[in-house]
Structure 1
């Protein structure tokens, strides 16, 4: 397996993991038993051939009684690994009270399953396998905003065609993804709405966007592009996006109708 090319902070985290494990008198096999991981996986994390993820960091904190140090370091490392254009929006997203997302081509990143996200990320032929896993870890880490004690209200509008873009190889992945969307839609802070294929043209087809509203009532937005993303924080531009949001939201089905449509979408596949 290709060795991960880590940031200095990731190297520091691995060094501290090795040091504290040894200081606790545990070899990799014993540490693996206590954290419910194999000794080979412990070794892979410590040398950097397997990315360090949050479940591993959490178990390491518990076993080594660090008070959450590794989880906090990993959160910091995840932020630093995001591309510079994305950091301002990412900060706004983490502090948002409301999120409004429209996607005409893919399931939104905040709502993706790990398998679906990996399939999407792997379409970038320029990424190595380690690069895919790093980007996947970042995407999954973003979803923590929906799991916090006081999560934002998220309303997502997705074109129905997104859920019908499937072939035999990806059928199981998409079935899992649609079921995940249905489960998320039952949460009090998440609404998922589909724009049915019968709506051939609408104002959102020019591209995806996500809006975040902070505690102060102000909005910022991020536009996905082929070159990354564009942060939008000017009032005039935000007014345009908020208007587009209202348009596409009005074209979408209700939450209940959308769930029923999702059931119909996967019915032929299961």
Structure 2
């Protein structure tokens, strides 16, 4: 079920549980029954004005308006990523290891677009949607109760050019350095002299949830996987601790990021 289908299903339930047909509900929210039918069948998109009318009539405190915004953002993301985005929004802490790219929550718009354009596998529309979804996800770091983010990057991330765009790389690393100064963000870099270490097998994320549980996210070429089982989480935790021990301290990592930024000038 898509995010849009979830929203339309909730709207239908809001109407039917009150014993109203579409004409009754239309009069209730000051729209025509035809308009209500078109929204519920998906032939007419629900607008913010329509959701505001529903919220005002049902006295929900803006519930359906918020659902429209959040589920619309989910529909911008690839289907296989939507489940994780929901968990990411709820997490109190995120531990993110990346051997190849800057983590999505810390990417600039230009860098995000360039990584998605690489290889020419996506259409322009798909790229635009995914860039917007990625930037929307970054909003969790600016909210009143942001999660604590610890990101560990392999040093190659700071040196890997995207489309040979030196200006873009300088802006991305400046942005990364600025993010590293935020009170809820820590960034560490694994240096060259570490040699081979377990993290090089692939990136992953550990999310601490409000109920005390931990979820893991593993990505690959075809799909992403969310794991919650004890053995899988234990393995990811052990790998994380090994990676973190190999990484430079926070201040030395920030210095390395700033030096790498200068090299792209």
TM-score band, normalised by the shorter chain? 0.7 to 0.9
Give 1:123 shift: 1.4
Aligned positions of 1:1-270 closer than 5 A: 16=47, 72-166=67-161, 169-270=164-265
Asked whether the equivalents of residues 105 and 134 of structure 2 are also in contact (C-alpha less than 8 Å), the reply is yes
Counterpart Cα distance in 1 of 2:99 and 2:166: 19
Counterpart Cα distance in 2 of 1:124 and 1:71: 36
Counterpart Cα distance in 2 of 1:255 and 1:79: 33
Change (3 A) 1:148 1:267: same
Counterpart Cα distance in 2 of 1:12 and 1:256: 53
**Residue of structure 2 equivalent to 1:33:** none
**Residue of structure 2 equivalent to 1:52:** none
SS at structure 1 position matched to 2:178: helix
- What TM-score, normalized by structure 1, do the two folds share? 0.73
Change (3 A) 1:238 1:264: same
Counterpart Cα distance in 2 of 1:81 and 1:213: 25
Give 1:72 shift: 4.9
**Radius of gyration: which is bigger?**
2
Change (3 A) 1:174 1:18: same
Give 1:170 shift: 1.3
Counterpart Cα distance in 2 of 1:11 and 1:251: 54
Asked whether the equivalents of residues 213 and 220 of structure 1 are also in contact (C-alpha less than 8 Å), the reply is yes
Counterpart Cα distance in 1 of 2:189 and 2:117: 25
SS at structure 2 position matched to 1:123: helix
Moved over 6 A (4+): 7-11, 17-20, 67-71
Give 1:182 shift: 0.7
Q: How many residues align?
A: 219
**Alpha-carbon RMSD:** 2.7
SS at structure 2 position matched to 1:222: strand
Give 1:86 shift: 2.4
Give 1:18 shift: 9.4
Deviations for 1:191-226, whole angstroms, at most 9, x for unmatched residues? 010001121111111100011011111100110100
Counterpart Cα distance in 1 of 2:246 and 2:260: 19
**Residue of structure 2 equivalent to 1:53:** none
Give 1:16 shift: 3.4
Counterpart Cα distance in 1 of 2:204 and 2:43: 34
Deviations for 1:115-147, whole angstroms, at most 9, x for unmatched residues? 000000111523211111011111111111111
Asked whether the equivalents of residues 85 and 231 of structure 1 are also in contact (C-alpha less than 8 Å), the reply is no
Counterpart Cα distance in 2 of 1:123 and 1:168: 8
